């Protein structure tokens, strides 16, 4: 509730921002080399948007799609995850009750992914699909959308690196690392699940991080004092257990956690301890595949070039963190790392005004900011002949 309360309060700002952007959407007059032609563009809404939203942060990720779509003049049909559809239905009820939004502009369809989600993805009257979820499901959505050449934006998974250099403020870095992997019980696409640490500060950082991880308060997710609640459902817990077992089999060493807690009041829930693995190399399964839980893989590096190579040695490219006070190095890495968002001396910071999205297997298209509005519009070019004469019909131009 601590995480969700903050997100829900923040949603108001998203809608205010995009409401203010609605009348700033425009085309442009383009000077061309044609002396008798006047050319301008119109930026028009794409039309009907199908949004498929995951079970983690459902209202936030819905709003990332709905706010810019409405600002652009689109209508939307949203299919929430079957595990968390209640919040979207309640949101829809409040929209009907408290706004003058015309009927049919915002619609909710509940159901399972293959049936309801698949039908939405394949529907010929849907002009654009906006999907957030796993990379595997993203491939299925992309195939379905291709049947009708439907426009598509995908915000998919990640295996994001958090890179700590020798000159970093280690106490700040520990806070950022925890924010990246243990907030929301690690169930976030931008989780900083790979920690790349310079050899010279590895032991000191691990000691600080392990100490803090052991102090994390697990408990009732409806208690504001709780820092980590359970994972969302049993299948997700089983997945986390599998990867932790696999990590041990591959030779990684558990520093903290690696199992469900033994505390009596937590045994009936889908709880899993904050987990840190060391002695991890980048080819291990736990370092390459998205776990979507509170599991951190610690990987050493010796040089800046090695840090860049390790950071980019992944099929994903959603986010990255850099911890250094060397400004030149920070800019070099921000440019070199193949990720849609790079944080320097912080992690897991987003804004309605700044674009968010992935590279590579983490998807394409952008949410938030004016880039999001561009994803919900299409551009039309208009040419006006200003002279009284049309030229040679057998030539272009």
Which residues are marked as active site?
A: 155, 189
Q: Assess contact for 44 and 396: CB atoms under 8 A.
A: no
Q: Assess contact for 142 and 150: CB atoms under 8 A.
A: no
CA dist 260 and 262 (Å) reads 7
Within a 10 A sphere around the Cβ of 28, how many other Cβ atoms? 10
Coil, strand, or helix at residue 250? coil
CA dist 382 and 38 (Å) reads 8
Q: Counting runs of H as helices and runs of E as strands, what totals does the chain give?
A: 12, 16
Residue 385 phi, psi dihedral angles, 5° rounding: -80, 125
Cα–Cα–Cα angle for 309, 312, 317, rounded to 5 degrees: 170
How far is CA 202 from each of CA 56, 319, 337, rounded to the nearest angstrom?
Answer: 32, 22, 22
CA dist 340 and 241 (Å) reads 29
Contacts for 117 with CB less than 8 Å, ≥ 6 apart: 52, 79, 111, 141
CA dist 287 and 161 (Å) reads 10
Output the CA torsion sign for 255, 348, 89, 45.
negative
Beta strands across the sheet bearing 295-301: 253-256, 275-278, 295-301, 194-198, 161-164, 319-323, 341-344
Q: Which two tokens stand for residue 177?
A: 């690392």
Q: Which two tokens stand for residue 88?
A: 């979207």
Within a 10 A sphere around the Cβ of 244, how many other Cβ atoms? 23
User: What radius of gyration do the chain's Cα atoms show?
Assistant: 24
């Amino acid at each position: 509730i601590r995480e969700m309360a903050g997100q829900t309060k923040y949603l108001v700002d998203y809608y205010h921002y995009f409401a203010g952007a609605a009348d700033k959407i425009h085309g442009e007059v383009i000077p061309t080399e044609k002396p008798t032609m006047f050319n301008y563009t119109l930026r028009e809404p794409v039309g009907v948007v199908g949004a498929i939203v995951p079970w983690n942060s459902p209202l936030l990720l819905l709003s990332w799609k709905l706010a810019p779509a409405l600002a652009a003049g689109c209508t939307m049909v949203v299919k929430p995850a079957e595990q968390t559809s209640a919040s979207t239905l309640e949101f829809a009820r409040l929209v009907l009750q408290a706004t003058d939004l015309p009927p049919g502009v915002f619609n909710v369809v509940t159901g399972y992914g293959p049936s309801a989600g698949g039908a939405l993805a394949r529907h010929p009257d849907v002009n654009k699909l906006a999907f957030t979820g796993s990379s595997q499901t993203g491939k299925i959505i992309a195939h379905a959308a291709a049947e009708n050449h439907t426009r598509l934006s995908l915000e998919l998974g990640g295996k994001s690196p958090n890179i700590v250099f020798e000159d970093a403020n280690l106490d700040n870095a520990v806070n950022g690392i925890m924010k990246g992997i243990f907030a929301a019980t690690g169930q976030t696409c931008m989780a900083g699940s790979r920690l790349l640490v310079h050899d010279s500060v590895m032991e000191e950082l691990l000691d600080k991080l392990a100490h803090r991880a052991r102090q994390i308060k697990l408990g009732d997710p409806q208690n504001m004092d709780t820092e980590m609640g359970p994972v969302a459902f049993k299948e997700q817990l089983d997945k986390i257990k599998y990867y932790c077992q696999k990590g041990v089999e591959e030779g990684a060493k558990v520093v903290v956690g690696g199992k469900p807690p033994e505390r009596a009041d937590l045994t009936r829930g889908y709880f899993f301890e904050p987990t840190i693995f060391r002695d991890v190399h980048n080819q291990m399964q736990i370092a390459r595949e998205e776990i979507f839980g509170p599991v951190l893989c610690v990987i050493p590096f010796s040089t800046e070039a090695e840090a860049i190579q390790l950071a980019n040695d992944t099929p994903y490219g959603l986010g990255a963190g850099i911890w250094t006070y060397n400004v030149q190095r920070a800019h070099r890495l921000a440019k070199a790392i193949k990720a849609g968002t790079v944080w320097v001396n912080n992690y897991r910071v987003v804004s309605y005004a700044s674009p968010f999205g992935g590279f590579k297997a983490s998807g394409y298209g952008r949410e938030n900011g004016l880039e999001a509005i561009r994803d919900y519009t299409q551009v039309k070019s208009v040419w006006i002949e200003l002279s009284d004469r049309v030229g040679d019909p057998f030539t272009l131009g």
